[in-house]
C-alpha cells in the first residue's frame, strides 16, 4: 500500500528538521552534533580534498579542523530546499550561503550547492551520502566560481 500524501509530507518535514538541526550545529560550531546526523559509514564529497571523505568520525574531525579557521561567527543561510521521500530513503537539495571572518584568509562569502541522501535508521533520518560543490569557470582558468549568487 502506498504511503499517504500526509505521511510523505510528515517525513519531508522531518528531513527538513534534520537539515535545520545540522545548520544550527554548524552555526554553533558543534562538530559532535553535526556528526550525529550521519550514518557511521557515510560518504561525503566535500569542497576540500580528497575526493571522498568516509565515516562520521572523519566528518567530525574535518569540521573540528574547519571551525578553527574561523575567527568569528559562521553565517549559514539555506534556501531553495527541495525534499523527496520514498519509504526509508530521502534526498534533498539546497543552496547554502556560508559567510564570516576567517583566521588567515579573507572573509568567506560564498554560495555552495548541496545534495544530501538520507536513510531512515531506527526511525531517524540520517545522512547516507552528501555532495557539496561550487561551479567553476570553464574559460580555461578552472577558477572556482565563488562570486555567484542565486
Asked whether residue 17 is assigned to any structural domain, the reply reads yes
**C-alpha to C-alpha distance for 20 and 96, rounded to whole angstroms:** 12
Asked whether residue 150 is assigned to any structural domain, the reply reads no
pTM, rounded to two decimals: 0.92
Q: Is pLDDT at 16 greater than 70 in this prediction?
A: yes
Asked whether residue 143 is assigned to any structural domain, the reply reads no
What is the percent of the chain with per-residue pLDDT over 90, rounded to a whole number? 93
pLDDT average, residue stretch 44-62: 97
pLDDT tens digits, residue range 88-133?
999 999 999 999 999 998 899 999 999 999 999 999 999 999 999 9
Query: 97: domain CATH number?
Result: 3.10.450.50
Asked whether residue 89 is assigned to any structural domain, the reply reads yes
Asked whether residue 92 is assigned to any structural domain, the reply reads yes
**145: three-class secondary structure by DSSP:** coil
Asked whether residue 100 is assigned to any structural domain, the reply reads yes
Domain boundaries, position 55? 5-133
Number of structural domains found in the chain: 1
Instruction: Give residue 1's pLDDT band: very low, low, confident or very high (50, 70, 90).
Output: very low
Asked whether residue 147 is assigned to any structural domain, the reply reads no
For cell 530521502, what's the residue? 90
**Burial letters 97-124, b for 16+ CB under 10 A, else e:** ebeeeeeeeeeeebbbebebebbbeeee
Asked whether residue 142 is assigned to any structural domain, the reply reads no
What values do phi and psi take at 72, rounded to 5? -155, -165
Amino acid at each position: 500500500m502506498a504511503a499517504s500524501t500526509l505521511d510523505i509530507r510528515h517525513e519531508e518535514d522531518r528531513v527538513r528538521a534534520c537539515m535545520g538541526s545540522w545548520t544550527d550545529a554548524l552555526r554553533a560550531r558543534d562538530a559532535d552534533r553535526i556528526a550525529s546526523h550521519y550514518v557511521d559509514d557515510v560518504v561525503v564529497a566535500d569542497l576540500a580534498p580528497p575526493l571522498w571523505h568516509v565515516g562520521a568520525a572523519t566528518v567530525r574531525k574535518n569540521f573540528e579542523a574547519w571551525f578553527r579557521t574561523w575567527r568569528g561567527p559562521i553565517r549559514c543561510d539555506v534556501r531553495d530546499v527541495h525534499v523527496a521521500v520514498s519509504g526509508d530513503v530521502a534526498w534533498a537539495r539546497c543552496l547554502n550561503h556560508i559567510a564570516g571572518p576567517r583566521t588567515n584568509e579573507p572573509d568567506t562569502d560564498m554560495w555552495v550547492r548541496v545534495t544530501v541522501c538520507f536513510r531512515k535508521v531506527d526511525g531517524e533520518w540520517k545522512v547516507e551520502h552528501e555532495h557539496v560543490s561550487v561551479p567553476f569557470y570553464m574559460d580555461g582558468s578552472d577558477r572556482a566560481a565563488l562570486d555567484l549568487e542565486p
